[in-house]
Structure formats: C-alpha cells, structure tokens
Amino acid sequence: MEDIEFRTTLLRSLKNCLEAADKLNEIYKKTNETLDLILGNQLEIKHTRTEKTNIIQTPDSRPEERKNQVNDLKCEEAKNTQPEKQNEKRIQKCEDSVRSLWDSFKRTNIRIIGVPEDEREQDIENLFEEIMTENFPHLVKEMDLQVQEARRTPNKRNPKRTTPRHIIIKMPRAKDKERILKTARERSSVTYKGIPIRLSADFSTETLQARREWQEIFKVMNTKNLQPRLLYPAKLSFRIEGQIKSFTDKEKLKEFITTKPGLYEMLKGIL
C-alpha cells in the first residue's frame, strides 16, 4: 500500500513539473517576442528621429519648413510613447507570470531558518521530523507527516557565510504546510534541540520583497485594530467599516484611502 502511494505521489509530482515546464516555455517565448518587438520599435524611433533631425539642421531648409518639421517630430515622439507604454505593460505581465509560476513551485514549501549545519546533511528529512516532534507532537500524531523533498539552500556551502543555510521542506499538500505554519505562529517559540529556529513560507525573491513593502503599513493598521493580514502571495487585507478590503499593490490602496479620511490621516506619512 505504501509503495502504491509513493508511486502515485511521484507521478503526480512529475505531471506537475511537466505542466510547469510547458507554462515556463510559453512565457519564455512570449518574453522573447516582446523583447524583439521593443528592440524593433526603438530602432525605428531612433532612425526616424535621426532622419528628421538631419533634415531640420540642413542649411537650405526654410524657417517655416523647420517649424513644421519640429512639430512633426514632436507629434511622432508623442505617438511613439504609446507603444513604449504598451511594451512596458507586456514586460510587466511576463515578469508577473514568471513570478507567479515560481511561487506555485514553492507553494507547498516550508523554509526553516537557524538550524546549525553539522554532519547530518544527508539526513535532513529525519531532522524535520525531530523538529516536529519536539515542537508539535500533537500534529505528528494527527497528521500523516510526509515529505517530498528536503534540502539545504543554496546547494553548496559558502565558507564566508556566517549563518547556517536555510532548509527547504517540500510537503505534498499546501494545507499541511499551512497547518504547520499556523501552529508555529501561535507558539511562542520554535526550537531544535533547544536552539531557537524559525519556520516560514517559501517565496520567490520578488514576492518576498513585495511582502516586505507592506510591513510598515501592516504595523500601523495593527495598532489601530484594523485586523490586517498578509495573504498569499503578497496581498494586504484588513477590516474597515465592517467590510474586508484587500489590495495587491500600494497604488490601489492610495486611491482607496482618498475616499476614507480617517484611513488617509493614518497612512499619509508612510504611503
């Protein structure tokens, strides 16, 4: 029975990897197409500007002609700014797609911070079980604790690094990861053999930065009892006037607070 479950889990993981690889390949193609389009537009704009500048600077050209050519050049530049903005949106969309895909890879991961590096580098999976038993014995009894992958990151140790490398634990189900992290947050401290450690979700670098940008706003809202929460992957949620509002970026929050004077006064110095 265990062998069948293992094979099923392995096939499911392989299928997910193949689907993710197809999505990544599609994003890669779209990104290349967008970059080619941007380069083509930039070359065309540069050629047009050079050509018209040369005409304007020609000694034989009349003042009226020069004035008309300058106006034509300004109009041309104004038209060219529109494709540039569209290209910027395309690039942002590609970057968001890559970030979303990378976060989906990490969705079931737990990052463990602070475990010393020792001779047990080949036994990290059992090390995680020890951490669970030491801190959450009731979860170990209630859950079917399975680990798909356990490793240090980065793969190679840097002699100049003074802090231990993080441990990445890949769980088979996101709900198992969420339950463990929720229990860790409710506990005053998490330890490994008495040494304080920390358990957190595993995010892409971009998503982690996006979450950090909410921290100051989160703290202010928390002191005002707005019940703020950071939702997956980087969305700020809070309660105001009996309703729950959520925002994915600061610009949308800025627009919203203009309609709420009290909230505007609260956040105007940090937003």
Of 28 and 250, the structure prediction assigns the larger pLDDT to 250
With beta carbons less than 8 A apart as the criterion, state whether 136 and 180 touch. yes
Quote the domain boundaries for residue 222.
206-268
pLDDT tens for 181-226 read: 999 999 889 999 999 999 999 988 888 898 999 999 999 999 999 9
80 located within any domain: no
159 and 181 together in one domain: yes
194 located within any domain: yes
- Mean pLDDT of the residues in the chain: 79
CATH no. for residue 151? 3.30.70.1820
Spatial distance between the Cα atoms of 2 and 146, rounded to a whole number of angstroms:
12
Of 202, 227, 252, which residue sits at a domain end? 202
117 and 178 together in one domain: yes
Tokens of 223: 């002191």
Of 187, 202, 217, which residue sits at a domain end? 202
What confidence score (pLDDT) does residue 88 get? 75
Model confidence, pTM: 0.60
182 located within any domain: yes
With beta carbons less than 8 A apart as the criterion, state whether 139 and 183 touch. yes
CATH no. for residue 229? 3.30.250.20
pLDDT tens for 234-245 read: 899 999 999 999
- pLDDT for residue 17 is more than 70: no
Spatial distance between the Cα atoms of 1 and 13, rounded to a whole number of angstroms:
18
pLDDT tens for 50-109 read: 555 554 455 544 555 555 555 665 565 555 556 667 777 777 777 777 777 788 888 899
254 and 193 together in one domain: no
Of 267 and 158, the structure prediction assigns the larger pLDDT to 267
With beta carbons less than 8 A apart as the criterion, state whether 150 and 109 touch. no
1 located within any domain: no
Spatial distance between the Cα atoms of 93 and 252, rounded to a whole number of angstroms:
17
Tokens of 91: 């690039």
226 located within any domain: yes
Least confident of 95-104, 134-143, 148-157: 95-104
46 located within any domain: no
232 and 180 together in one domain: no
Percent above pLDDT 90 for the chain: 41
Residue 10's pLDDT band, with cuts at 50, 70 and 90, is: low
235 and 184 together in one domain: no
CA atoms within 13 A on the CB side of 235: 9
170 and 114 together in one domain: yes
53 located within any domain: no
Number of domains within the chain: 2
124 and 151 together in one domain: yes
Residue 136's pLDDT band, with cuts at 50, 70 and 90, is: very high
What would the mean pLDDT of 145-164 be, rounded to a whole number?
82
What confidence score (pLDDT) does residue 39 get? 61
210 and 151 together in one domain: no
Of 124 and 95, the structure prediction assigns the larger pLDDT to 124
What would the mean pLDDT of 12-20 be, rounded to a whole number?
65
Of 178, 202, 226, which residue sits at a domain end? 202
- Contacts of residue 90, defined as CB under 8 A and 6 or more positions apart, other chains included, come to 34, 37
What confidence score (pLDDT) does residue 61 get? 47
What confidence score (pLDDT) does residue 117 get? 84
Spatial distance between the Cα atoms of 224 and 271, rounded to a whole number of angstroms:
16
